[in-house]
Homo-oligomer: A and B are copies of this chain.
């Protein structure tokens, strides 16, 4: 049985956290940016801080050491829902969009999706834009802790593969110490990479404000920008290259970053099968797109084709979703190609979305083994990852994940088409949300305003579903979850 008191007590934490964040941005607006939107942050912040205080007092006798797996599962989904709802208030107050749209924008930020219903970013208050960027950064950190600490324990989508990867000395099998331990080791790495990214952007030519704002959404592979023109606002191939490096870092396992830093052995990146395949894929897909764009004669020289190709392949495969060219002027097949990259996904244990390279590898190996099995019907063929035999339950979990991801795309696309959106827009909108990618094409090419309210709620759900790797959310919907 889920303990309602435990859950409520746990939920007071994200409420408190969101209150503190909005309080800080209220103060930033008031004293640093002086952009007259402080009230939009301070009013909701006051209510949240009060509410979290009341909850804490009311549930003070809760023993949090008794938090069960089910409480944790419930907590994960509810956290993204609750912070999504609460994070929307300043968005609604500053921009006058509807509650539905504000919550979509907020969930899009916290899940590091980066799909937006806003236009005219360049003229918006600076504190508000930074708030949006910061939500992505915070969401990214939450995701890293969640995927490194929680998913391997539950073997969600086969992630038991990564259980031994948890950083730090404590290999505890209980959830609370594991989360605390992971958070303890990873927040510093996350902060460090963000800092280096901001520094690099600054030296690459961005203003300090833009450098910080974009570092937040690069490392979290979130993809929000403070400009409508996204990363091409700066018109600098140097900045695209900087962005490439840090998007890639954001899409590689943070547990692996920790081990590399701890042992000062960069070669560990290359020794990791998933990271190696990921980098090979990025290189291969970039080459394909470069050749295609070059023979289409879209850009004057090879260098430019290569720069734009690399940036977009990396932006999409890491599910960041930055743009640097008017993609709608590219042939439709390139859009489809980039969506395909987004489905491949980044590495597990990172902020990236999509199916994840580790699952692509296992799936590829399962299929390859099936083909070989046909030629040797009696043979017992092995299936190894990183040198070790992959267990049945992991294969089942991975393949279940892949099939569910494909099925969800089909079903949610069908639902969106039911709201009146055309097929191409529906499909790319769904791909943008379940892969926490961000940009869509067709009618949703510049923003998600053309989607109906029902469609917006469906997509909001899709972002949470994809971000929590489907099964975390699905577990709440089986009757067994609510029994004994």
Interface set of A (CB-CB < 8 Å, partner B):
69-70, 73, 153-157, 332-333, 336-337, 340, 343, 363, 366-377, 392-393, 395-397, 399-404, 406, 410-411, 413-414, 417-418, 422-424, 427, 471-472, 474-475, 477-478, 480-481
Cβ A471 vs Cβ B371 within 8 A: yes
Given contacts A154-B374, A375-B481, A392-B392, contact A366 B399 (CB under 8 A): yes
- Alpha-carbon gap, A232 to B105, bound state (A): 48
**Interfacial chain B residues near A377, Cβ < 8 Å:** 69, 153-155
Cβ A374 vs Cβ B417 within 8 A: no
For A416, the closest partner residue in chain B by CB is: B333
For A367, the closest partner residue in chain B by CB is: B400
Among B370, B375, B411, B414, point to the contact of A400 (Cβ < 8 A).
B370
Q: Which of A70, A371, A406, A414 has the most CB of B within 10 A?
A: A371
Among B336, B397, B477, point to the contact of A423 (Cβ < 8 A).
B336
Among B370, B396, B418, point to the contact of A397 (Cβ < 8 A).
B370
**Chain A interface mostly:** helix
Among B153, B333, B406, B478, point to the contact of A375 (Cβ < 8 A).
B478
**Interfacial chain B residues near A333, Cβ < 8 Å:** 414, 417-418
**Interfacial chain B residues near A410, Cβ < 8 Å:** 340, 343
Given contacts A333-B414, A399-B400, contact A70 B375 (CB under 8 A): yes
Given contacts A340-B414, A392-B392, contact A480 B375 (CB under 8 A): yes
Among B366, B404, B422, point to the contact of A396 (Cβ < 8 A).
B366
- Alpha-carbon gap, A169 to B366, bound state (A): 35
For A480, the closest partner residue in chain B by CB is: B375
Would you mind naming 10 contact pairs between A and B with Cβ atoms under 8 Å apart?
Answer: A73-B374, A154-B377, A366-B399, A367-B404, A370-B400, A370-B401, A371-B474, A372-B478, A402-B403, A403-B403
Among B154, B157, B396, B402, point to the contact of A369 (Cβ < 8 A).
B396
Oligomer: number of copies: 2
Cβ A366 vs Cβ B154 within 8 A: no
- Alpha-carbon gap, A333 to B392, bound state (A): 38
**Interfacial chain B residues near A475, Cβ < 8 Å:** 371, 374-375
**Interfacial chain B residues near A474, Cβ < 8 Å:** 371
Q: Which of A395, A399, A401, A477 has the most CB of B within 10 A?
A: A399
**Interfacial chain B residues near A418, Cβ < 8 Å:** 333
Cβ B393 vs Cβ A396 within 8 A: no
For A363, the closest partner residue in chain B by CB is: B403
- Alpha-carbon gap, A478 to B471, bound state (A): 34
Given contacts A336-B413, A336-B423, A423-B424, contact A371 B403 (CB under 8 A): no
A153-B377, A399-B399 given; 10 more Cβ-contact pairs under 8 Å: A73-B375, A155-B377, A340-B410, A340-B414, A367-B404, A370-B396, A370-B471, A376-B480, A395-B399, A422-B424
In the complex, what's the smallest C-beta–C-beta distance from A477 to chain B, in angstroms?
8
**Interfacial chain B residues near A392, Cβ < 8 Å:** 392, 395
**Interfacial chain B residues near A427, Cβ < 8 Å:** 423
Among B155, B401, B404, point to the contact of A373 (Cβ < 8 A).
B155
- Alpha-carbon gap, A69 to B376, bound state (A): 9
**Interfacial chain B residues near A157, Cβ < 8 Å:** 370
**Interfacial chain B residues near A401, Cβ < 8 Å:** 370
**Interfacial chain B residues near A367, Cβ < 8 Å:** 400, 403-404
Among B336, B373, B396, B480, point to the contact of A417 (Cβ < 8 A).
B336
For A395, the closest partner residue in chain B by CB is: B396
In the complex, what's the smallest C-beta–C-beta distance from A379 to chain B, in angstroms?
11
**Interfacial chain B residues near A411, Cβ < 8 Å:** 340
**Interfacial chain B residues near A414, Cβ < 8 Å:** 333, 336-337, 340
In the complex, what's the smallest C-beta–C-beta distance from A218 to chain B, in angstroms?
27
For A173, the closest partner residue in chain B by CB is: B377
**Interfacial chain B residues near A155, Cβ < 8 Å:** 373-374, 377
**Interfacial chain B residues near A472, Cβ < 8 Å:** 374
In the complex, what's the smallest C-beta–C-beta distance from A292 to chain B, in angstroms?
8
- Alpha-carbon gap, A340 to B417, bound state (A): 13
For A371, the closest partner residue in chain B by CB is: B474
In the complex, what's the smallest C-beta–C-beta distance from A465 to chain B, in angstroms?
13
Cβ B413 vs Cβ A374 within 8 A: no
- Alpha-carbon gap, A404 to B332, bound state (A): 24
- Alpha-carbon gap, A366 to B337, bound state (A): 30
**Interfacial chain B residues near A477, Cβ < 8 Å:** 371
